[in-house]
Amino acid sequence: MRDILWISENATGAIQADSRISDPQTKQTYLINSLIEEAISSSQLEGAATTRQVAKDMLRSGRAPKDHSEKMIRNNYNAMRFIREYKDETLTKSMICELHRIVTEDTLPAGNEDKAGVFRGQDDDIRVYSLDDKLLHTPPAYQQLDDRIQQLCDFVNSESDSGTSFIPPVIKAIVVHFMIGYDHPFVDGNGRTARALFYWVMAKEGYWLMEYISISRVLKQAPAQYMAAYLHTETDGNDVTYFIIHQLEVIKKSIADLHRYLADKAGEVREAEKILKKSQLNGLLNHRQLGLLKNALDNPGMEYTIKSHQNAHGIAYQTARTDLLALADKYHLLKKYKIGKKTFL
């Protein structure tokens, strides 16, 4: 109850007045960065092998993914955007299947390409094994899935706001996360779908700050504890308390990470402003230009395009173009050149 209260206080509006995130444009930048972070970490948790910088460059530039790992990350990013768009809808089996389709697009194992967004069937012998081939979990039979997923949707959609039936929203979200992993309704991509649904439930219940945190980054730091939380539940009469306690700690750590991230970003902007304080540019650059300038100072030779700047901040093409051309043509801080039809700075 202490953890639930702490999360409720810190994920529903506790830092809305913080000047580092209250400005709508700055808030959008942080949100884009968060979606990218969760997309990368959730995919890496499931085996995607690529560097964070390469993955970020892909998402911000909008280029097509080059391999399986990049496809996983792109799909997760699209799934997080889907969640934001449909967070006010009622949860249905078709929505869960659509989310799975997005998460697994063009990434399913050979022979299972047609299983995206489709519950596993008679021919899908699904078992969960450890790295040393020890059987860890046998999901419910495929014949039960339709009814079990419908019950899960009913559980999420039910109004539990009175009497003894009340269930805190964060507990609902964690139980949904657990049940998708337990039921394993799909041939692949169950973990990514489960974590995406966790975010969907939290967003639907008004925990706006959850849109800015990455639980997968914390889970990736100790994946064995993540697996153990499932196993302890199953080996003790399906007492999901084990998983709930684990996830509450993960959420708290993720929120704490966000506060550190905000402090670091605010410090970077102040550092960039300090560098320019004695120059003629003092007070002339917006927060996006200051952030790019700090990034360029830390990464000599880094290339930027209007598209990458637009995707990084969630702004209009013309706004991104104005930002970069000012840095290049007006202030001479970046060098502009073209390759084909693309302009790089």
Amino acid at 135: L
- State residue 14's pLDDT score: 42
pLDDT digit string, tens, across residues 104-157: 999 998 888 899 999 999 888 788 776 677 787 889 999 999 999 999 999 999
Residue type, 100: H
Encoding tokens for residue 286? 């917006």
pLDDT digit string, tens, across residues 153-189: 999 998 755 556 788 999 999 999 999 999 999 999 9
- Between residues 26 and 92, the one the model is more confident about: 92
pLDDT at 249 over 90: yes
**Structure-block tokens of residue 263:** 């402090």
pLDDT in tens, 76-98: 889 988 998 899 999 999 999 99
Q: What is the dihedral of CA 100, 101, 104, 105, to 10 degrees?
A: -170
Three-point CA angle 73, 76, 78, nearest 5°: 110
pLDDT at 286: 86
Structural domains of the chain sorted by starting position, each given as residue range(s) with its CATH number in brackets: 2-261 (1.10.3290.10), 286-344 (1.10.10)
Partners of 135 in the β-ladder: 129
pLDDT at 31: 66
Weakest-pLDDT range from 40-49, 171-180, 246-255: 40-49
* 305-344 pLDDT tens trace: 888 888 888 888 999 999 999 998 888 888 887 766 666 6
pLDDT of residue 336: 81
- 241-276 vs 169-183: helix axis angle to the nearest 10? 110
> Is the per-residue pLDDT at 273 higher than 80?
no
